[in-house]
């Protein structure tokens, strides 16, 4: 099992990373919630994530794909907006949700179990839409 740490140094953030865009659907109790997302696929993109942004449009987010299940550890340093972090297994099933993360916090947010990906949405979205552990996320990476 691999341990993934995201503690970006200035080398990671000197050049702004570009992100490809996609759509994702969360099936929660038979309701389908669609989000426009950016994909963080490379180590540099994953190190930058949503840092330094002051706004995330409603129904938007970022999907971090690590390719295979790993213990994932993240933080909110240099992230200025509260987020919901949704940890996903290899099939796209939600295995953990951390709601309303604290902006600029250096506290570690861990998947606690091997996870394939993390979906970050605006803080409070999972509560508002009643998204829960066990719900299924549909995206091409989970095929």
CATH of the domain at 58: 2.60.120.1140
Kindly provide the b/e burial profile for residues 54-76, where b requires at least 16 CB atoms within 10 angstroms of the residue's own CB. Answer: eebeeebbbbbbbeebbebebbb
pLDDT for 17 equals 87
Domain count, the chain: 1
pLDDT for 15 equals 61
More confident residue, 10 or 62: 62
More confident residue, 113 or 6: 113
Pseudo-torsion of CA 36, 56, 70, 132, nearest 10°? -70
Q: Residue 28 is part of which domain span?
A: 3-142
Q: E strand or H helix at 45, and its extent?
A: helix 43-48
What is the residue-averaged pLDDT of the chain? 91
Chain centre to alpha carbon of residue 73: 11
């Amino acid at each position: 099992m691999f341990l993934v740490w995201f503690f970006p140094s200035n080398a990671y953030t000197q050049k702004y990373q570009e992100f490809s865009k996609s759509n994702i659907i969360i099936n929660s109790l038979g309701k389908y919630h669609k989000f426009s997302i950016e994909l963080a696929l490379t180590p540099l993109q994953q190190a930058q994530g949503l840092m330094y942004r002051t706004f995330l449009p409603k129904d938007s987010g970022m999907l971090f794909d690590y390719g295979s299940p790993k213990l994932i550890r993240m933080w909110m340093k240099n992230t200025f907006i509260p987020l919901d972090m949704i940890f996903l297994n290899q099939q796209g099933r939600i295995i953990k949700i951390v709601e309303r993360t604290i902006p600029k916090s250096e506290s570690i947010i861990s998947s606690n179990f091997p996870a394939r990906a993390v979906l970050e949405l605006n803080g409070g979205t999972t509560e508002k839409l009643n998204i829960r552990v066990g719900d299924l996320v549909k995206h091409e990476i989970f095929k």
